[in-house]
Amino acid sequence: MAWKKRNAFQTPVPTPEQAAVYIKPSSPFTSGNLHMGHVRDYSIGDAYARFRRARGDAVLFGFGFDAFGLPAEMAAIERGVRPADWVERCGERMLGQMRRLGFAFDYERAFYSSDESQYRWSQWLFLTLLEAGLIYRDDATVDWCDNCQTTLAALQVEDGRCWRCHEKVRLIRRPTWFLGVAPYLEENDRNLAGLENWDELSLKTQRYILGRSDGVELDLETPGGGRLTVFSPHGDAVGEARFVLLSPRHPEVDQWAAEPAVRGQLDELRSGGWERSARDASAVPVIDTGASATVPGGGELPVFVSPIVDARYGPTAALGIPAVDEADEAIAARMPRATGDSLAEAPQARSATRYRAYDFSISRQRYWGTPIPVVHCEQCGVVPVPIEDLPVQLPRDVEPTGEGNPLAERPDFLDVACPRCDAPARRETDTLDCHFDALWLWVPAAVPPTDRAEQMFTHPDLRRWLPSERLVAGNDSGGFVFDQRVVTKALRDIGPFSFLEQGEPFAGCLFHEMVIADGRKMSKHLGNVVDPDELVATHGADTVRLAVLYAAGPAKALNWTDGALRFAARFLRGLWDYTHDRIAAAAEAPHDAAAAADTAFLRERLGKWSASGLERITADLEQLQMHKAVRNVTRLLERIQDYEKRIVKRRGQLDREDYEALLEALALLARVLAPFAPHAAEQLLIDLGEPDSADLPGTWPEPAGLYDSGDAGENPAPIAQN
């Protein structure tokens, strides 16, 4: 293929006049198969990348595989192979699928998060955030299978039973690593107003994850003479408060649980998996501490502990106001002490904001992940591995069975000298959740592969390409993106990303909904999965791409039907036949000056139609509204055909000059089609005798030159092509 030979998609070094545009598609899991959601994602991103390239911008369009994690490990267990081999096989296959679909990635920049050269930087990031105090160790509740001697992820628990052996699982407490996001929640919130090139769908996910509540806070007195700050979204009803609800993660919760009975309940609540408990106020656990807080100006409020606070306002304390809040009403009905009088006077409150988003666990008791670079020493406790000793290598010759933790059974991995005191010590056997790898998975594509080992976070190219001009991703990526925004701010403050003043990884963002079939999610179980390979084999890549783009706007779920395919196939075939037919006819056409003069006004009109079509398609592409752009491409063909009909009606046939204008319009059409159906467009341009390929920089037509045709008798001016 000519593109590959020319290296058309290699990332260029931008000239001083060029905008450097890094377009970031979603990072696929190495599942082994592209699904239709990927096809949608990459068709949008690829159209945008080709458009920006044709406009003359320097484009980086690259990605890496999210290759660590449980799904890959489970797939490898099922097949009895090593995850390392499985992931490589899957990646190769998916890259082949991408090439067949004609996606113009810089494939030389593709990478796997499970490559040693990658995960050593995940380890670097871990140590960097650990030193900054953003990573910490705390107890968390996890599912545990006694039979398999392993912890289980939510994905591996089906109806309370182990996915592997179907025994009942139980919840245990164990030390887990957490990433702190709290210091950056407010800035993530504040920045939303300035993210102008983010579409509404992507902003909505960020707001949802933040879970912002505006209200008031006030200070109560604790029995010990201390202060307890409580929040309420109901600023005008605090005088109606009947109780206080404390999050089990509130920093001072323990001082409210001095009574052994209360202590016991709190421990049970924590180990009883309140992460999984119902958010329904009539069922959620609530503990009465037996103690009360005093309201300044008079009144006592009983203090309860319940995880419902976390689900609503984060790890804080909240006023229970049954008179105005349904959830509080439901809790009051369950708690005998929640029935006091109104407070003597409404206490003074100040305005306040709370966020529901909170720190999350980043470690898993799994083999297939980035080893956590710390060592456990009896003398020194938890000791970070020095950065110069990275990477802590993951043994790749492991064939996990799902039983136990393979890393704990490998002395060559486990036994190590303490970096601090040199005594025999043990490596951490937990690995990082692949969500952690994803925190910086948008970075490597911006660094040339040969420089990644040394300069992943310091390479000068980072200043050129970051922030990414546009992220194109599925609507389910909101959580990833939120945490990437947090970590970017942390790295700005720590130093490496100091040039990203806003701390934002993505200047623009387009989220799209998923692809469904028969109104339902595609799944093997429902038997409604559409296989992109089969579609490409039957209909060709261009038809599939065009159909996916045409079928729905990004904010709508794409309900896949053959209708869109038929439309795209008919359009491409029609355009192909029409163009070749007219090329042949033009060669035979007679020329008569008087006849040509008589239709000059129609040629001029065609020029205007072409110009306005081009303008609209350009605007659609700038907004990544590919469904509208494709519609306008098809309308342009209708206009061209209409022009021809009018001439035939007026004069019976086209003059050579009329044909020249017609072919010029068709060449324009081929150029604006190229971002969506690149293979067909490229061949049409060649057959029309166009000198420049559509993917050469600066070949996007300029509307201005199209209809300033000067004398009516002359040919319309040629399409401007820098």
Residues within the interface to Zn ion (CB under 5 A): 145, 147-148, 162, 164-165, 377, 379-380, 418, 420-421
Helix, strand and coil in the chain, % to nearest 5: 45, 20, 35
Six-digit token pair at 261? 């009975």
Q: Amino acid identity of 373?
A: P
Minimum CB distance to Zn ion smaller for 210 or for 372: 372
CA-closest candidate to residue 114, choices 305, 393, 408, 389: 393
Given a contact cutoff of 8 angstroms between Cβ atoms, the answer to whether 542 and 570 are in contact is: no
Least separation in angstroms between residue 156's CB and Zn ion is 9
Nearer to Zn ion, 47 or 148 (CB): 148
**Backbone φ, ψ for residue 17 (5° rounding):** -85, -15
Q: Rounded to the nearest 5°, which phi and psi values hold at 460?
A: -60, -25
User: Beta-strand (E) ranges in 356-479?
Assistant: 360-361, 363-364, 370-371, 374-377, 381-384, 415-417, 424-427, 431-432, 470-474
| Shortest Å distance, C-beta 160 to Zn ion | 12
Query: How far apart (Å, rounded) are the C-alpha atoms in residues 374 and 430?
Result: 10
- Name the residue type at position 181: V
> In this complex, which beta carbon is closest to Zn ion, that of residue 237 or of residue 380?
380
> Looking at beta carbons only, is 342 or 379 nearer to Zn ion?
379
C-alpha span between 246 and 231 (Å, rounded): 10
The smaller minimum CB distance to Zn ion, of residues 421 and 648, is found at: 421
Distances (CA, A) of 385 to 77, 327, 454: 30, 47, 18
**CB nearer to Zn ion: pick between 143 and 325:** 143
CA-wise closest residue to 410 among 386, 390, 426, 431: 426
First to last CA, the chain: 25
Q: How far is the CB of 175 from Zn ion (least distance, A)?
A: 18
Closer residue to Zn ion, CB minimum distance, 373 or 675? 373
Integer Cα distance of 228 and 338 in angstroms? 18
Q: Which residue has the tokens 């922030």?
A: 467
Cβ distance to Zn ion smaller for residue 163 or 178? 163
**What is the CA angle 236-242-244, rounded to 5?**
95
For Zn ion, the closer of residues 59 and 374 by Cβ is 374
Tell me if residue 125 falls in helix, strand or coil. helix
Place of tokens 């720590």: 494
Beta strand 508-512 pairing with 197-198:
parallel
CB of 162 to Zn ion, least distance (A): 3
- Token look-up 């947090």 returns 486
Nearest approach, Cβ of residue 377 and Zn ion (Å)? 3
Which residue, 160 or 226, is less far from Zn ion as judged by CB?
160
Closer of 333 and 421 to Zn ion (Cβ): 421
Angstrom distance (rounded) from CA 437 to CA 393: 15
Q: Closest approach of Cβ 404 to Zn ion, in Å? A: 11
What torsion do the CA atoms of 535, 538, 542, 544 make, to the nearest 10 degrees?
A: -30
Q: Compute the least distance from the CB of residue 152 to Zn ion, in Å.
A: 7
Maximum separation of any 2 CA atoms in the chain, in Å: 105
Q: Encoding tokens for residue 193?
A: 């107003």
Q: Minimum CB separation from Zn ion for residue 127, in Å?
A: 17
At which residue do the structure tokens 């040919």 appear? 715
Distance CA 476, CA 354 (A): 24
Q: At how many degrees (to 10) do helices 626-651 and 541-551 cross?
A: 100
Q: Is-contact 700 55, C-beta < 8 A?
A: yes
Q: Dihedral sign, CA of 109, 114, 115, 118? A: positive
Q: Whose Cβ is closer to Zn ion: residue 223's or residue 273's?
A: 273
- The two three-digit tokens of residue 467, written as one number: 């922030």
Tell me how far, at minimum, the Cβ of 635 lies from Zn ion, in Å.
59
Taking the complex as a whole, the smallest distance from the CB of residue 421 to Zn ion amounts, in Å, to 3
- Least separation in angstroms between CB 378 and Zn ion: 7
Q: Give the span between the Cα atoms of 24 and 21, in whole angstroms.
A: 10
Of the pair 388, 711, the CB lying nearest Zn ion is at 388
Q: How far is the CB of 148 from Zn ion (least distance, A)?
A: 3
Residue with tokens 């060592």: 375
Pairing state between β 360-361 and 170-179: antiparallel
Least Å distance, CB 72 to Zn ion, is: 19
Supply the minimum distance, in Å, between the C-beta of residue 295 and Zn ion.
51
Chain centroid to Cα 273, Å, comes to: 29
Closest contact distance (angstroms) between CB of 386 and Zn ion is: 13
Residue closer to Zn ion (CB basis): 74 or 564 = 74
* Least spacing, CB of residue 161 vs Zn ion, in Å: 8
Owner of token pair 């390479």 = 459
CB nearer Zn ion, residue 377 or residue 548: 377
Nearer to Zn ion, 146 or 409 (CB): 146
Of the candidates 400, 453, 454, which has an alpha carbon nearest to the alpha carbon of residue 431? 400
